[in-house]
Amino acid sequence: MITVDCREAEHLMQDMAVFVSDWIGAIPSIKLHEFVLSPLGSEMLAAPKIIKAVKEFFASIGETANYGILSKDDLILIKSIHDGPIQKTPRTESIFSCTHCGYVTRYEVLLQNHMKMHYIF
């Protein structure tokens, strides 16, 4: 298991955990200020591969100039290059998903109407 400490990039932590876990094929566990990556099988996770995935994440959102990555053993630390953490407004949008077919919407009312369709027939 490898821990990625995101104290200075908390507003990006969830998106980063999803991106990195997809990139390397691992299971993310999100904690308060960090996320932990666990291997899918018996293979070991390599810190250099995770660091490369984090760099790719920052490149994909245009933040490579704002963050640095430090690594020691099983801990990867995301540091802001500027004086303090960069504050951005967190995304608060919710996503609702149908448990029957996987239909996804941002609106709970649409999901409720969709769910009724499963019980009509």
**What are 13-67's pLDDT values in tens digits?**
989 999 999 889 888 998 889 999 998 888 888 899 999 999 999 998 888 888 9
Residues 95, 108: Cα–Cα separation, whole Å: 8
Residues 34, 10: Cα–Cα separation, whole Å: 8
Question: Residue 116 — pLDDT band, cuts 50, 70, 90?
Answer: confident
- 9: tokens are 């990039």
Dihedral Cα 1, 12, 79, 17, nearest 10 deg: 10
pLDDT digits (tens, 9 = 90+) for 61-95: 888 888 999 999 899 999 988 765 555 555 556 78
Residue 107 confidence (pLDDT): 82
Residue 105 in contact with residue 96, Cβ under 8 Å?
A: yes
Residue 83 confidence (pLDDT): 66
Q: What is the pTM of this model?
A: 0.65
Residue 54 in contact with residue 66, Cβ under 8 Å?
A: no
Residues 49, 55: Cα–Cα separation, whole Å: 10
Return the H-helix or E-strand segment holding 52: helix 47-61
